[in-house]
A = this chain, B = another copy of it.
Protein backbone atom coordinates (compact mmCIF):
# COMPACT_ATOMS: atom_id res chain seq x y z
CA UNK A 1 0.00 0.00 0.00
CA UNK A 2 1.18 3.46 -0.89
CA UNK A 3 -0.47 6.45 0.81
CA UNK A 4 -0.17 9.90 -0.73
CA UNK A 5 -0.90 12.75 1.66
CA UNK A 6 -1.67 16.42 1.21
CA UNK A 7 -0.90 19.14 3.75
CA UNK A 8 -2.99 19.76 6.85
CA UNK A 9 -6.05 21.89 6.35
CA UNK A 10 -5.10 25.57 6.20
CA UNK A 11 -1.35 24.91 6.20
CA UNK A 12 -0.72 25.91 2.58
CA UNK A 13 -2.51 29.22 3.15
CA UNK A 14 -0.55 29.79 6.36
CA UNK A 15 2.72 29.28 4.49
CA UNK A 16 1.63 31.52 1.61
CA UNK A 17 0.90 34.28 4.12
CA UNK A 18 4.43 33.93 5.54
CA UNK A 19 5.77 34.27 1.99
CA UNK A 20 3.75 37.42 1.40
CA UNK A 21 5.23 38.91 4.55
CA UNK A 22 8.66 38.46 2.98
CA UNK A 23 8.03 39.84 -0.48
CA UNK A 24 5.24 41.37 -2.52
CA UNK A 25 5.70 38.87 -5.31
CA UNK A 26 7.66 36.03 -3.73
CA UNK A 27 10.06 34.06 -5.93
CA UNK A 28 8.18 31.02 -7.32
CA UNK A 29 11.08 28.61 -6.76
CA UNK A 30 11.31 29.54 -3.09
CA UNK A 31 7.51 29.45 -2.67
CA UNK A 32 7.62 25.82 -3.78
CA UNK A 33 10.42 25.00 -1.32
CA UNK A 34 8.25 26.57 1.37
CA UNK A 35 4.95 24.93 0.41
CA UNK A 36 6.56 21.50 0.12
CA UNK A 37 7.04 21.49 3.90
CA UNK A 38 3.26 21.10 4.34
CA UNK A 39 3.26 17.55 2.97
CA UNK A 40 6.63 16.78 4.52
CA UNK A 41 5.03 17.37 7.92
CA UNK A 42 2.00 15.16 7.24
CA UNK A 43 3.89 12.20 5.76
CA UNK A 44 6.34 12.10 8.66
CA UNK A 45 3.59 12.44 11.29
CA UNK A 46 1.43 9.81 9.57
CA UNK A 47 4.33 7.36 9.31
CA UNK A 48 5.09 7.80 13.01
CA UNK A 49 1.46 7.14 13.79
CA UNK A 50 1.33 4.00 11.64
CA UNK A 51 4.48 2.66 13.27
CA UNK A 52 3.04 3.42 16.70
CA UNK A 53 -0.02 1.37 15.66
CA UNK A 54 2.28 -1.50 14.74
CA UNK A 55 2.19 -0.94 10.96
CA UNK A 56 5.68 -0.70 9.41
CA UNK A 57 5.76 2.54 7.46
CA UNK A 58 8.25 4.87 5.82
CA UNK A 59 7.78 8.37 4.39
CA UNK A 60 9.23 9.38 1.03
CA UNK A 61 9.58 12.95 -0.19
CA UNK A 62 9.55 13.75 -3.87
CA UNK A 63 13.33 13.50 -4.26
CA UNK A 64 13.25 10.14 -2.48
CA UNK A 65 10.18 8.79 -4.30
CA UNK A 66 11.78 10.20 -7.47
CA UNK A 67 8.78 12.05 -8.79
CA UNK A 68 10.22 14.09 -11.63
CA UNK A 69 8.52 17.17 -13.04
CA UNK A 70 9.30 20.03 -15.38
CA UNK A 71 10.50 23.29 -13.80
CA UNK A 72 7.19 25.21 -13.94
CA UNK A 73 7.21 26.24 -10.28
CA UNK A 74 3.74 26.36 -8.76
CA UNK A 75 2.12 24.42 -11.60
CA UNK A 76 4.66 21.75 -12.51
CA UNK A 77 3.73 18.68 -14.56
CA UNK A 78 4.91 15.21 -13.66
CA UNK A 79 7.12 13.87 -16.44
CA UNK A 80 8.13 10.58 -14.87
CA UNK A 81 8.42 8.51 -11.72
CA UNK A 82 11.30 6.13 -11.03
CA UNK A 83 9.58 3.65 -8.72
CA UNK A 84 12.73 1.75 -7.67
CA UNK A 85 12.85 3.20 -4.15
CA UNK A 86 9.10 2.86 -3.59
CA UNK A 87 9.21 -0.78 -4.73
CA UNK A 88 12.20 -1.46 -2.51
CA UNK A 89 10.28 -0.20 0.54
CA UNK A 90 7.13 -2.12 -0.48
CA UNK A 91 9.23 -5.30 -0.70
CA UNK A 92 10.12 -4.76 2.96
CA UNK A 93 6.35 -4.90 3.61
CA UNK A 94 6.24 -1.27 4.57
CA UNK A 95 3.40 1.14 3.90
CA UNK A 96 5.01 3.92 1.88
CA UNK A 97 3.69 7.42 2.62
CA UNK A 98 4.49 9.76 -0.25
CA UNK A 99 4.40 13.55 0.00
CA UNK A 100 1.77 14.70 -2.47
CA UNK A 101 1.66 17.94 -4.44
CA UNK A 102 5.42 18.05 -5.05
CA UNK A 103 8.17 16.85 -7.31
CA UNK A 104 11.76 17.56 -8.27
CA UNK A 105 13.12 18.73 -11.58
CA UNK A 106 16.07 17.05 -13.26
CA UNK A 107 18.61 18.86 -11.07
CA UNK A 108 16.71 18.35 -7.81
CA UNK A 109 14.89 21.69 -7.48
CA UNK A 110 11.63 21.27 -5.58
CA UNK A 111 8.47 21.98 -7.56
CA UNK A 112 4.78 21.92 -6.69
CA UNK A 113 1.89 20.82 -8.86
CA UNK A 114 -0.66 23.49 -7.95
CA UNK A 115 -3.92 23.19 -6.04
CA UNK A 116 -5.27 19.66 -5.92
CA UNK A 117 -1.81 18.40 -6.80
CA UNK A 118 -1.92 15.62 -4.25
CA UNK A 119 -4.67 13.90 -6.26
CA UNK A 120 -2.43 14.09 -9.30
CA UNK A 121 0.50 12.65 -7.34
CA UNK A 122 -1.68 9.76 -6.16
CA UNK A 123 -2.87 8.86 -9.64
CA UNK A 124 0.62 9.25 -11.12
CA UNK A 125 2.16 7.00 -8.48
CA UNK A 126 -0.66 4.46 -8.98
CA UNK A 127 -0.06 4.54 -12.74
CA UNK A 128 3.71 4.15 -12.34
CA UNK A 129 3.24 1.21 -9.98
CA UNK A 130 0.43 -0.27 -12.11
CA UNK A 131 -1.66 -0.35 -8.94
CA UNK A 132 -4.96 -2.24 -8.83
CA UNK A 133 -6.82 0.78 -7.53
CA UNK A 134 -6.27 4.38 -6.54
CA UNK A 135 -8.64 5.63 -3.84
CA UNK A 136 -9.00 9.37 -3.26
CA UNK A 137 -10.24 10.12 0.26
CA UNK A 138 -11.92 13.50 0.36
CA UNK A 139 -14.70 15.44 2.10
CA UNK A 140 -17.45 14.14 -0.16
CA UNK A 141 -18.43 10.49 -0.34
CA UNK A 142 -18.55 10.19 -4.11
CA UNK A 143 -19.70 11.67 -7.38
CA UNK A 144 -23.39 12.59 -7.53
CA UNK A 145 -25.84 12.95 -10.40
CA UNK A 146 -25.81 16.63 -9.44
CA UNK A 147 -24.70 18.76 -6.49
CA UNK A 148 -26.82 17.52 -3.52
CA UNK A 149 -26.85 21.07 -2.13
CA UNK A 150 -28.72 22.14 -5.27
CA UNK A 151 -31.11 19.20 -5.48
CA UNK A 152 -31.91 16.83 -2.62
CA UNK A 153 -32.84 14.07 -5.10
CA UNK A 154 -29.22 13.86 -6.26
CA UNK A 155 -28.02 10.24 -6.23
CA UNK A 156 -24.52 8.96 -5.64
CA UNK A 157 -23.16 7.14 -8.70
CA UNK A 158 -21.57 3.72 -8.16
CA UNK A 159 -19.43 4.23 -11.19
CA UNK A 160 -18.73 6.75 -13.89
CA UNK A 161 -16.50 6.78 -16.96
CA UNK A 162 -13.32 8.87 -17.03
CA UNK A 163 -14.75 10.97 -19.86
CA UNK A 164 -17.93 11.74 -17.98
CA UNK A 165 -15.91 12.66 -14.91
CA UNK A 166 -13.66 14.91 -16.99
CA UNK A 167 -16.72 16.74 -18.29
CA UNK A 168 -18.24 16.94 -14.81
CA UNK A 169 -14.98 18.18 -13.24
CA UNK A 170 -14.41 20.83 -15.89
CA UNK A 171 -18.05 21.90 -15.52
CA UNK A 172 -17.76 22.70 -11.86
CA UNK A 173 -18.27 19.48 -9.92
CA UNK A 174 -15.44 20.04 -7.47
CA UNK A 175 -14.88 16.45 -6.45
CA UNK A 176 -11.47 15.84 -7.98
CA UNK A 177 -8.69 17.86 -9.52
CA UNK A 178 -9.24 17.51 -13.26
CA UNK A 179 -5.61 16.68 -14.14
CA UNK A 180 -5.76 13.62 -11.92
CA UNK A 181 -8.76 12.28 -13.85
CA UNK A 182 -6.97 12.88 -17.14
CA UNK A 183 -3.97 11.03 -15.80
CA UNK A 184 -6.15 8.14 -14.60
CA UNK A 185 -7.77 7.89 -18.04
CA UNK A 186 -4.49 8.03 -19.93
CA UNK A 187 -2.95 5.24 -17.83
CA UNK A 188 -6.22 3.34 -17.17
CA UNK A 189 -5.92 3.62 -13.40
CA UNK A 190 -9.18 2.60 -11.71
CA UNK A 191 -9.92 5.61 -9.51
CA UNK A 192 -12.32 5.66 -6.58
CA UNK A 193 -13.57 8.72 -4.73
CA UNK A 194 -14.46 8.01 -1.11
CA UNK A 195 -15.20 9.89 2.07
CA UNK A 196 -12.48 10.32 4.69
CA UNK A 197 -15.18 10.24 7.35
CA UNK A 198 -17.35 7.22 6.49
CA UNK A 199 -16.89 3.64 5.30
CA UNK A 200 -19.50 4.07 2.54
CA UNK A 201 -18.36 2.80 -0.86
CA UNK A 202 -17.60 5.77 -3.09
CA UNK A 203 -17.74 6.21 -6.85
CA UNK A 204 -15.46 4.22 -9.12
CA UNK A 205 -14.08 5.82 -12.28
CA UNK A 206 -13.19 3.41 -15.08
CA UNK A 207 -13.27 3.00 -18.83
CA UNK A 208 -16.79 3.19 -20.13
CA UNK A 209 -18.62 -0.12 -20.37
CA UNK A 210 -21.86 -1.40 -21.91
CA UNK A 211 -23.81 -0.72 -18.75
CA UNK A 212 -22.80 2.94 -18.79
CA UNK A 213 -23.74 3.25 -22.44
CA UNK A 214 -27.29 2.17 -21.63
CA UNK A 215 -27.80 5.37 -19.62
CA UNK A 216 -28.20 8.48 -21.81
CA UNK A 217 -27.50 11.01 -19.05
CA UNK A 218 -25.36 10.38 -15.97
CA UNK A 219 -25.33 13.79 -14.39
CA UNK A 220 -26.29 17.43 -14.49
CA UNK A 221 -23.65 20.05 -13.70
CA UNK A 222 -24.02 23.72 -12.86
CA UNK A 223 -21.18 26.20 -13.25
CA UNK A 224 -21.15 29.86 -12.31
CA UNK A 225 -17.51 30.48 -13.14
CA UNK A 226 -18.05 32.06 -16.53
CA UNK A 227 -18.95 35.46 -17.90
CA UNK A 228 -20.23 36.22 -21.39
CA UNK A 229 -18.67 38.69 -23.80
CA UNK A 230 -20.64 39.95 -26.79
CA UNK A 231 -19.20 41.93 -29.70
CA UNK A 232 -21.89 43.36 -31.98
CA UNK A 233 -21.72 44.25 -35.67
CA UNK A 234 -18.32 42.69 -36.33
CA UNK A 235 -17.39 43.10 -40.02
CA UNK A 236 -17.67 39.58 -41.44
CA UNK A 237 -14.20 39.30 -43.05
CA UNK A 238 -11.56 36.57 -43.00
CA UNK A 239 -8.96 37.11 -40.27
CA UNK A 240 -11.28 38.98 -37.94
CA UNK A 241 -11.49 36.10 -35.44
CA UNK A 242 -7.70 35.97 -35.18
CA UNK A 243 -7.53 39.72 -34.56
CA UNK A 244 -10.03 39.35 -31.71
CA UNK A 245 -8.93 36.12 -30.05
CA UNK A 246 -5.15 36.29 -30.39
CA UNK A 247 -4.65 39.17 -27.89
CA UNK A 248 -7.04 37.41 -25.47
CA UNK A 249 -5.10 34.16 -25.73
CA UNK A 250 -1.81 36.06 -25.39
CA UNK A 251 -3.09 37.35 -22.03
CA UNK A 252 -3.52 33.71 -20.91
CA UNK A 253 -7.30 34.02 -20.82
CA UNK A 254 -9.09 30.79 -21.63
CA UNK A 255 -12.02 31.28 -23.99
CA UNK A 256 -14.58 28.52 -23.65
CA UNK A 257 -17.80 28.59 -25.74
CA UNK A 258 -17.75 30.67 -28.92
CA UNK A 259 -20.89 31.44 -30.91
CA UNK A 260 -20.93 33.36 -34.16
CA UNK A 261 -24.32 34.27 -35.59
CA UNK A 262 -24.85 34.03 -39.31
CA UNK A 263 -23.77 37.31 -40.80
CA UNK A 264 -26.34 39.66 -42.33
CA UNK A 265 -25.37 42.59 -44.54
CA UNK A 266 -21.65 41.85 -44.03
CA UNK A 267 -21.77 42.04 -40.25
CA UNK A 268 -22.01 39.38 -37.55
CA UNK A 269 -22.39 39.17 -33.76
CA UNK A 270 -19.79 37.24 -31.77
CA UNK A 271 -20.41 35.83 -28.29
CA UNK A 272 -18.07 33.83 -26.11
CA UNK A 273 -17.42 32.98 -22.48
CA UNK A 274 -14.34 33.61 -20.33
CA UNK A 275 -13.70 32.92 -16.62
CA UNK A 276 -15.51 35.54 -14.52
CA UNK A 277 -12.24 36.77 -13.01
CA UNK A 278 -10.88 37.54 -16.48
CA UNK A 279 -13.91 39.50 -17.73
CA UNK A 280 -12.58 42.96 -16.88
CA UNK A 281 -9.23 42.27 -18.49
CA UNK A 282 -10.91 40.83 -21.58
CA UNK A 283 -13.05 43.93 -22.05
CA UNK A 284 -9.96 46.14 -21.63
CA UNK A 285 -8.12 44.16 -24.28
CA UNK A 286 -11.00 43.99 -26.76
CA UNK A 287 -12.21 47.60 -26.52
CA UNK A 288 -9.43 49.04 -28.72
CA UNK A 289 -9.39 45.98 -31.00
CA UNK A 290 -13.14 46.27 -31.65
CA UNK A 291 -12.74 49.92 -32.50
CA UNK A 292 -9.84 49.15 -34.82
CA UNK A 293 -11.78 46.54 -36.80
CA UNK A 294 -14.92 48.68 -36.92
CA UNK A 295 -17.20 46.64 -34.66
CA UNK A 296 -20.08 48.37 -32.93
CA UNK A 297 -19.73 47.49 -29.27
CA UNK A 298 -18.11 45.12 -26.74
CA UNK A 299 -20.17 44.23 -23.68
CA UNK A 300 -19.87 41.78 -20.79
CA UNK A 301 -22.41 39.91 -18.73
CA UNK A 302 -21.58 38.18 -15.44
CA UNK A 303 -25.08 37.07 -14.55
CA UNK A 304 -25.00 33.80 -16.44
CA UNK A 305 -24.91 30.14 -15.49
CA UNK A 306 -23.81 27.15 -17.50
CA UNK A 307 -25.94 24.02 -17.13
CA UNK A 308 -24.72 20.78 -18.69
CA UNK A 309 -25.94 17.25 -19.03
CA UNK A 310 -23.26 14.58 -19.33
CA UNK A 311 -23.43 10.95 -20.34
CA UNK A 312 -21.49 8.47 -22.48
CA UNK A 313 -24.80 6.90 -23.50
CA UNK A 314 -25.79 10.13 -25.26
CA UNK A 315 -23.99 8.93 -28.40
CA UNK A 316 -26.42 6.06 -28.82
CA UNK A 317 -29.57 7.82 -27.70
CA UNK A 318 -30.91 10.33 -30.22
CA UNK A 319 -33.15 13.16 -29.09
CA UNK A 320 -31.39 13.98 -25.84
CA UNK A 321 -30.65 17.56 -26.88
CA UNK A 322 -34.25 18.12 -28.01
CA UNK A 323 -35.52 16.78 -24.68
CA UNK A 324 -33.19 19.14 -22.83
CA UNK A 325 -34.26 22.25 -24.78
CA UNK A 326 -37.94 21.27 -24.49
CA UNK A 327 -37.62 20.90 -20.71
CA UNK A 328 -36.01 24.32 -20.33
CA UNK A 329 -38.64 25.90 -22.59
CA UNK A 330 -41.41 24.40 -20.46
CA UNK A 331 -39.85 26.19 -17.46
CA UNK A 332 -39.69 29.43 -19.46
CA UNK A 333 -35.90 29.45 -19.34
CA UNK A 334 -34.35 31.25 -22.27
CA UNK A 335 -31.21 29.62 -23.74
CA UNK A 336 -28.47 32.18 -24.46
CA UNK A 337 -25.78 29.88 -25.85
CA UNK A 338 -25.43 26.20 -26.68
CA UNK A 339 -22.34 24.04 -27.00
CA UNK A 340 -22.11 20.30 -27.41
CA UNK A 341 -19.56 17.50 -27.42
CA UNK A 342 -20.03 13.79 -27.99
CA UNK A 343 -20.98 13.16 -24.37
CA UNK A 344 -22.13 16.58 -23.17
CA UNK A 345 -24.63 19.32 -23.94
CA UNK A 346 -24.10 22.69 -22.26
CA UNK A 347 -26.39 25.69 -22.30
CA UNK A 348 -25.78 29.17 -20.98
CA UNK A 349 -28.84 30.70 -19.31
CA UNK A 350 -29.60 33.60 -17.03
CA UNK A 351 -27.95 33.06 -13.65
CA UNK A 352 -31.19 33.16 -11.68
CA UNK A 353 -32.57 30.07 -13.46
CA UNK A 354 -29.53 27.88 -12.68
CA UNK A 355 -30.97 25.73 -9.88
CA UNK A 356 -34.39 25.47 -11.52
CA UNK A 357 -32.79 24.18 -14.72
CA UNK A 358 -30.73 21.59 -12.82
CA UNK A 359 -33.76 20.25 -10.98
CA UNK A 360 -35.94 20.11 -14.08
CA UNK A 361 -33.28 18.25 -16.08
CA UNK A 362 -32.51 15.89 -13.18
CA UNK A 363 -36.21 14.99 -13.08
CA UNK A 364 -36.81 14.63 -16.80
CA UNK A 365 -33.84 12.26 -17.27
CA UNK A 366 -34.85 10.23 -14.19
CA UNK A 367 -31.51 10.59 -12.47
CA UNK A 368 -32.86 9.93 -8.98
CA UNK A 369 -33.49 6.29 -9.96
CA UNK A 370 -30.55 3.88 -9.99
CA UNK A 371 -30.04 2.25 -13.39
CA UNK A 372 -31.42 -1.30 -13.77
CA UNK A 373 -28.75 -3.89 -13.01
CA UNK A 374 -27.70 -5.94 -16.03
CA UNK A 375 -27.21 -9.67 -15.81
Query: Which residues from chain A sit less than 8 Å from chain B, CB to CB?
Result: 15, 18-19, 22-27, 29-31, 33-34, 36-37, 40-41, 43-49, 51-52, 58-59, 61, 63-64, 85, 107-110
Instruction: State whether B40 touches A26 (Cβ < 8 A).
Output: no
Q: Which of B33, B47, B48, B107 contacts A61 (CB 8 A)?
A: B33
* Nearest CB of B to A68, in Å: 14
Copies in the complex: 2
A/B interface sample: 30 pairs, CB < 8 A:
A15-B41, A18-B41, A19-B44, A19-B45, A22-B45, A22-B46, A22-B52, A23-B52, A24-B52, A25-B52, A26-B51, A27-B51, A30-B44, A30-B45, A30-B47, A30-B58, A30-B59, A31-B48, A33-B40, A33-B44, A33-B47, A34-B40, A34-B44, A34-B45, A36-B40, A37-B37, A40-B40, A61-B110, A64-B109, A85-B107
Instruction: State whether B40 touches A23 (Cβ < 8 A).
Output: no
**9 pairs of A and B residues whose beta carbons are closest in the complex:** A23-B52, A33-B44, A37-B37, A34-B44, A26-B48, A22-B49, A22-B48, A30-B44, A30-B47
**Chain B residues with CB below 8 A from A85, complex form:** 107-108
Closest to A88 in B: B107
**Chain B residues with CB below 8 A from A23, complex form:** 48-49, 51-52
What's the Cα separation between A43 and B43 when bound, in Å? Answer: 21
**Chain B residues with CB below 8 A from A22, complex form:** 45-46, 48-49, 52
Instruction: State whether B64 touches A48 (Cβ < 8 A).
Output: no
Instruction: State whether A30 touches B18 (Cβ < 8 A).
Output: no
